[in-house]
Amino acid sequence: MQLSDAFLDDLVRRITDERSDVFGAFYTPYLRDGAQRVAGLAASLRSPDAVDDVADLAGVAESALRSLMGLCVETGVRTLIASFRAQDTGYEAFHARLAQAPGRQAVLDRFPELDRLLRLATARTARTVSDVLHAAVADRAELDALLGGPGRIVSVTPGLGDAHRGGRTVCLVVRDDGSRTVYKPQQDNCQQLLTALRTLLDTDGSFFGPLHPRTLVRPAHVWQEFVVHADLDGTAEHSARYFRRFGRSAALLSMLGATDLHHENIIATPDGPVVIDTETLVSLPNSAVEQGASIPAAAALNLDIERSVLNTLLFPARYAGAKLDVDISGIGCVRPGASESLQSYLVVDAGTDDIRFDRSQVVVEHGGNMATVAGEPLDPRRWTDELVAGFREARTLLAAHRDAVEAAVRDSAGWAVRQVVRPTYVYARFLEASTHPVHLGSRQDRAELLGKLPRHYRGTAAESADAVHREEVAALLDLDVPFFTVDCDSGLLRGDFDEEIRSAARLTPRESALAAVGSFFARPADRDPLYLRYALAGSADDVWERREPAPGSAPAASPVHLADPAGWHALLRDLVVGEADSPTWLTPRLRGDGLRLGGVDATLYDGGGLLLHLAQEAARTGTAPVGVDPERVCASAARSRPAVLDGTPLSMSPFTGALSDLVTDWEIRRLAAPDARFRAGEEHVRFRPAQGGFDVDGLSAADFDHLNGYGGYLVHLAAHTEHGATEVTGAGAERLLRRLVTVDGDPAEHPEGGELGLAHGRFGRITALSAMVAAGLDEGSGARAHLERFAEAYGRHRWQDAGLRDRGTGAGNSGWCKGYAGIAYAHAALLTALGEPAGRIADAVAPEIDRVLEPAGGAQDTAIAPDLSLCHGLAGRIAVLCHLADLLARPDLRDGAAALHTAFVDRYGKGGWSCGIGTEPLLPSYFLGLSGWFAAQAMLDHPGTGLPRCLGGR
């Protein structure tokens, strides 16, 4: 079939008109050139009739040109917008000028690199279509068998993935019978290795599900059935099966060392997840570790993560401090979030005189990778137990067939893998930046920008860095994403040039796969399931929201029993990595409204409290619960030495800020040396205000937050000054106290709607004043008089805020953070500071204590709430009751705490509890998770065990 010039001209006009809102007519010559190239394919095939038998060339031309148009617009739109805004005519007039050769050439004269890129895109699109049609002719019989019968190609859409190696890209191919297939220009595909293992382990597909598409493999390309995303049926059983199969597939892929299985490489189907891209089925180690060499804690953790299920990217991998702060995982995030560090651009008011491009945050939207019911995505976090169960089941199956698996890897042949030498989003950012008009003046301008790519690479030897860099720049100059492959028995990476690029570990992919299998089975069996749980917990920044459990049966039995700290300590022991003098382990840490993965930290609120709990256990029993010295972990975990306090309220907190590292360090050291001194002086702590000088008079009431601010700092001074801590701001304790008295307001009144709770409200500020008065550090600040007036007014009015009123949610209102446990603690501290006797304090605090002792924590529901945390849940109530029992000589309060503990363990001991945030019940956090629970339990079981000093301990 010959395509006439009239047909092609009409086709080009229709496509450019459709994009008239983004200067579509500008691209007319490029589309005409592309159309002529596609039309000429009829003569290039093996016989004149071949193209008619295989394809409808008119449909192919239309689909290919639409794809080309999209690429042209993406490449040139910002340049045309900038050119438009640099002159005085309206949009329509400027667009009309661009449609004519002189107007178009005026732009291209200023931006010759744009012309080169558009010509390149045109030629490559036509060549891609040619490759597809030639392959379809050559593979016609086998392709018909793959797709279930004969059919003519009516559409070829390039650009389904990144362009590599001369613009080669994945294409969607549609036939006239409605069947769809995916064409991939790959060489030595490793799909066959996965197929062999699937056949070995799960012949009928009942265990893993589909796992991968049906595929026709050729030496230089692959035909793959198009996998259609479809809903699950909505039953709990079907959803459970899907996520169980996902966990099983994750174990298999992790065992091989797969990576880069992100949201674009997984499709969710009713039968299970399907991996549609296996080019990274095996990965080379990121670096070589010398035998016997000592490595720092952070490096040891990174090495372990590389060997873990997290390296697959099937699960969220959001790390503290990482640039990539959105969830791109294969399993998907139920709540797409905007990145705080990655930006793109957005065309605004297209087709109008106000057209412009604005910066926008990168957002990863829902895609075909997410399991859905009636179009709505399922939250993977609600199916964590099924994912973990599936992973464990697959590990058992794989262990039973380990010898056969290793034999299959050894005996396989003719495959290669892609080595991803840096995160591919970095390439995307550089490519996008390089097509900004400021860089399109010449090829050299773009080369200079692209040359700024850092020369740090995964899996390549240091001496090959320059060669890799040259390959990267050359590829990106032509709008390609750099692509490196390694033959299964080679230690050299192949790029587009003939330069020698060596791998870092000097391993071949086959050796890497066998090493990955060995590492998979050498790892403690509980480590990857915990990593999986922790990763899912950090998927979305909504950890404070209340979520219902997944529908169906009762929660799965937990690997931890709440009455048995030893069982939980055993799980933590399986996480420990690194040398004996610098151990660490992976943990989820609270950052803003979400959780981020990283090594255990030293903040009392999170990892530091966990370390203190472990140190207390070690001091009491004489045995380190997780097999390493908590003091050494703390030293490895500290953010910096010295601790740098930048003057922001958070940095000054002994609970959550940089100062907290020193608090944890002292608390742990004093267990072995009661006379231990707080680390002070410039070598340990430095005050470096972020905004220049420190302005005491600029501090607000909110800045004196107890948990996250200067209120906590004053508590720190009161608790630790006698042990060597110093006031670091230079303002002096008296000025800080005077400012707090001022901003706290009239002590005889409390504003309507004002928060009262200990962590962030009025009683937090009162606790800071009380601590300083009790320590005799109030000098002439007026703090005592302020406290006296407040104590009298509160005793008379018993103010309440929203956190203290019964909300009817079943969550109760008796927690430490915003509830009656915190108020009882703070009220008692206030009256103690004023010198009231224990009996009078007990009477005054009785109303709050009664609320803390209520089984349901003040909720309308009589059932005890499932939150076990120190901050919001039962652990905080138990800790406060034990503290008050000692302070007020009221042993009956311990009895009440014991009754609450018994009721909670009877109901939730084997599972079904929740932590203070999110959905994951095994969070190790001190304030929000299991370490706080077991610390409170230790206070109950061992009366000599107390809270940290800044939390009221002795």
Please spell the DSSP secondary structure of 535-571, one letter per residue: HHHTSSS-TTS--PPPSSSSPPPPSS-TT-HHHHHHH
Supply the DSSP symbol for 32.
H
Burial-class residue 237 by CB neighbours within 10 Å (0-12, 13-18, 19+). exposed
Distances 774 to 122, 732, 779 between C-alpha atoms, Å: 78, 17, 11
Asked if 175 and 152 touch (Cβ cutoff 8 Å), the reply is yes
Burial-class residue 90 by CB neighbours within 10 Å (0-12, 13-18, 19+). exposed
- Alpha-carbon distance of 815 to 436, in angstroms, equals 54
* pLDDT given for residue 343 in this prediction: 81
Distances 561 to 124, 663, 908 between C-alpha atoms, Å: 61, 30, 9
Where does residue 313 fall: left (phi above 0), alpha (psi -120 to 50 degrees), or beta otherwise? left
- Residue in the structure block whose two tokens are 């990763």: 535
- Residue in the structure block whose two tokens are 């298999």: 252
* pLDDT given for residue 253 in this prediction: 98
* pLDDT given for residue 554 in this prediction: 54
**901: phi then psi, degrees, rounded to nearest 5:** -60, -45
- Alpha-carbon distance of 53 to 937, in angstroms, equals 77
- Alpha-carbon distance of 516 to 521, in angstroms, equals 9
Asked if 105 and 14 touch (Cβ cutoff 8 Å), the reply is no
User: In this structure, how many other beta carbons lie within 10 angstroms of the beta carbon of residue 481?
Assistant: 18
* Nearest by Cα to 211 from 125, 298, 130, 277: 277
Q: What token pair was written down for 309?
A: 């299920």
Residues facing 501 on adjacent strands = 493
- Alpha-carbon distance of 208 to 272, in angstroms, equals 7
Radius of gyration of the chain (CA): 32
Average pLDDT for 302-307:
94
pLDDT at residue 330 greater than cutoff 60: yes
Average model confidence (pLDDT) across the chain: 91
Cβ contacts of 613 within 8 Å, gap of 6 or more: 926, 931, 932, 934, 935, 938
- For the chain, give the longest Cα–Cα distance: 105
* Nearest by Cα to 172 from 415, 368, 374: 368
- Alpha-carbon distance of 509 to 347, in angstroms, equals 43
- Alpha-carbon distance of 128 to 168, in angstroms, equals 6
* pLDDT given for residue 373 in this prediction: 96
Q: pLDDT tens digit string along 524-574?
A: 999 999 999 999 998 888 777 765 655 655 556 788 999 999 999 999 999
Cβ contacts of 138 within 8 Å, gap of 6 or more: none
* pLDDT given for residue 293 in this prediction: 63
Binning pLDDT at 50, 70 and 90, where does residue 1 land? Answer: low
- Alpha-carbon distance of 590 to 920, in angstroms, equals 13
Least-confidence region, from 223-237, 279-293, 394-408, 930-944: 279-293
Distances 739 to 8, 731, 781 between C-alpha atoms, Å: 78, 11, 9
Binning pLDDT at 50, 70 and 90, where does residue 858 land? Answer: low
Query: Is residue 134 classed as helix, strand or coil in its secondary structure?
Result: helix
User: In this structure, how many other beta carbons lie within 10 angstroms of the beta carbon of residue 871?
Assistant: 25
Determine the residue type at 240: A
Helix (H) or strand (E) holding 685: strand 685-687
Asked if 824 and 888 touch (Cβ cutoff 8 Å), the reply is no
* pLDDT given for residue 359 in this prediction: 87
Please report, rounded to a whole number, the percentage of residues in the chain having pLDDT higher than 90. 76
Asked if 323 and 341 touch (Cβ cutoff 8 Å), the reply is yes
User: In this structure, how many other beta carbons lie within 10 angstroms of the beta carbon of residue 215?
Assistant: 20
Average pLDDT for 250-267:
95
pLDDT at residue 338 greater than cutoff 80: no
- Alpha-carbon distance of 524 to 231, in angstroms, equals 36
Geometric angle at alpha carbon 107, from 106 and 112, rounded to 5°: 105
- Alpha-carbon distance of 95 to 97, in angstroms, equals 5
Cβ contacts of 214 within 8 Å, gap of 6 or more: 146, 224, 225
Residue 795 CA, chain-centre distance (Å), reads 47
What residue ranges in 209-308 does DSSP mark as E strands?
Answer: 215-217, 222-225, 266-269, 272-275
Most confident of the ranges 290-299, 459-468, 842-851: 842-851
- Alpha-carbon distance of 501 to 652, in angstroms, equals 49
pLDDT at residue 861 greater than cutoff 60: no
DSSP structure string for 366-403: --TTS-EETTEEP-GGGGHHHHHHHHHHHHHHHHHTHH
Determine the residue type at 355: I
pLDDT at residue 857 greater than cutoff 60: no
Average pLDDT for 52-67:
93
Q: pLDDT tens digit string along 628-669?
A: 999 999 998 877 678 889 999 999 999 998 899 999 999 999
- Alpha-carbon distance of 597 to 541, in angstroms, equals 13
* pLDDT given for residue 542 in this prediction: 78
Distances 127 to 40, 455, 838 between C-alpha atoms, Å: 11, 33, 88
* pLDDT given for residue 549 in this prediction: 58
Burial-class residue 790 by CB neighbours within 10 Å (0-12, 13-18, 19+). buried
* pLDDT given for residue 50 in this prediction: 63
- Alpha-carbon distance of 550 to 771, in angstroms, equals 45
Asked if 599 and 588 touch (Cβ cutoff 8 Å), the reply is no
Determine the residue type at 378: L
pLDDT at residue 219 greater than cutoff 60: yes
Supply the DSSP symbol for 162.
-
Least-confidence region, from 41-45, 65-69, 667-671, 899-903: 41-45
pLDDT at residue 808 greater than cutoff 50: no
How would you classify the pairing of strands 501-502 and 586-591? unpaired
- Alpha-carbon distance of 268 to 371, in angstroms, equals 5
* Nearest by Cα to 266 from 123, 138, 367, 356: 367
Q: What token pair was written down for 276?
A: 């549609």
Supply the DSSP symbol for 462.
G
pTM across the whole model = 0.92
Binning pLDDT at 50, 70 and 90, where does residue 704 land? Answer: very high
Geometric angle at alpha carbon 515, from 511 and 518, rounded to 5°: 145
Q: What token pair was written down for 508?
A: 């071949």
Beta-carbon-side half-sphere exposure of residue 389 (alpha carbons within 13 Å): 15
